[in-house]
Amino acid sequence: MKVVTWNVNSLNARADYVGHFLDAVDPDVLAIQELKMTEDQVPRELFTSRGYHLAIHAQPRWNGVAIASKAPITDVMAGLATAEEDGEARVLAATTFGIRFVDLYCPQGQAVDSPKFPYKLRFFDGLIAWLREQVTPDAPWAVLGDINIAPRPEDIWDPKRFANVPSFHPDEHARWAELVSFGLSDVVADRVEAPFYTFWDYRGGAFHRKQGMRIDHLLATPPVADRVTEVEVPRDWRKKYEGLTPSDHAPLVVTLAD
């Protein structure tokens, strides 16, 4: 089965583009981030007409996450229900295909001297505490999404330039180390050759200059990680498609053995 995570940067602006993607790639599970719309604005038929079940956690204007699956979805949980999340729609957990999926849109952090950066660190502390309570290595979990951390120097186009910048800051790397310390592991890093970016800024021709970052991830416990057969970022989905503007993220596609 094919599992995809993709920050679409507005589901309203990207609806037609996402439709083309679903027809071409036909994922079994799709976790999307940055809906940028209220729940009632979500174009449900985009997914239901293609046979998907849907779970949504949305808010007006910003953030928002959703999980679409070809199989029924149960045990939906929207949000961490902690102060760290601060009322923003960034976390959605749901069970489908026998796997507990957690769809994440983690804060970007803006600048280290802005209030957004301590908020990002607090968010991770809350997320890690919440995951620690539930995740056990023998249970099938997949934690995926725009985590907004480039874990290794080879995951960012200029690690020196970003040495003290959100996405590649030591305080974030400390959180990443915790995130993969209680059963979850990065299923991508050791299966692909760097550089393996998932995001390229719209500004400055970053995509064509190959100035990207690997900030979209899939972390999994062994029952899921052991099933991974293929990992790819099809970069064509970061390009214009029939005149439609792409997201600034490409989808991360992970194939699991049935």
Closest listed residue to residue 178, CA positions, set 110, 223, 131: 131
Nearer to DNA, 141 or 207 (CB): 207
Which listed residue (66, 91, 100, 107) binds DNA by CB under 7 A? Answer: 107
Residue whose CB is less far from DNA, 50 or 239: 239
Q: How far is CA 167 from the centre of its chain?
A: 14
Alpha carbons 188 and 257: distance in angstroms, whole number: 15
Following DSSP, what letter does each residue of 186-205 receive, concatenated? ETTGGGSPSP--SEE-SGGG
HSE-up of 225 (CA within 13 Å, CB side)? Answer: 20
Neighbours of 43 (CB within 10 A): 15
Binding status of residue 108 toward DNA by CB under 7 A: yes
* Smallest distance, DNA to C-beta of residue 143, A: 19
Q: How far is the CB of 67 from DNA (least distance, A)?
A: 20
Considering only residues 33 through 92, tell me which ones interact with DNA, judged by CB under 7 A.
Answer: 36-37, 60-63
160 near DNA, judged by CB under 7 A: no
Please state, in angstroms and as integers, the Cα–Cα distance from residue 108 to each residue in 63, 90, 114, following that order.
11, 11, 11
Considering the rule CB under 7 A, would residue 204 count as an interface residue with DNA?
yes
Tell me: does residue 10 bind DNA (CB under 7 A).
Answer: yes
Q: Does 12 bind DNA (CB under 7 A)?
A: yes
Taking the complex as a whole, how short is the minimal distance between the CB of residue 228 and DNA, in angstroms?
Answer: 27
Total interface residues for DNA by CB under 7 A: 19
User: Binding DNA by CB under 7 A: which of 20, 118, 137, 202?
Assistant: 202
Q: Give one DSSP letter per residue of 102-165, joined into a string.
A: EEEE------TTSTHHHHHHHHHHHHHHHHHHH--TTS-EEEEEE-----SGGGBS-TTTTTTS
Q: Does 118 bind DNA (CB under 7 A)?
A: no
Q: Is residue 211 a contact point for DNA (CB under 7 A)?
A: no
Query: Considering the rule CB under 7 A, would residue 116 count as an interface residue with DNA?
Result: yes
Rounded Cα distance between 136 and 139, Å, is 6
Please give the residue ranges that form the binding site for DNA (CB under 7 A): 9-10, 12-14, 36-37, 60-63, 107-108, 110, 116, 202-204, 245
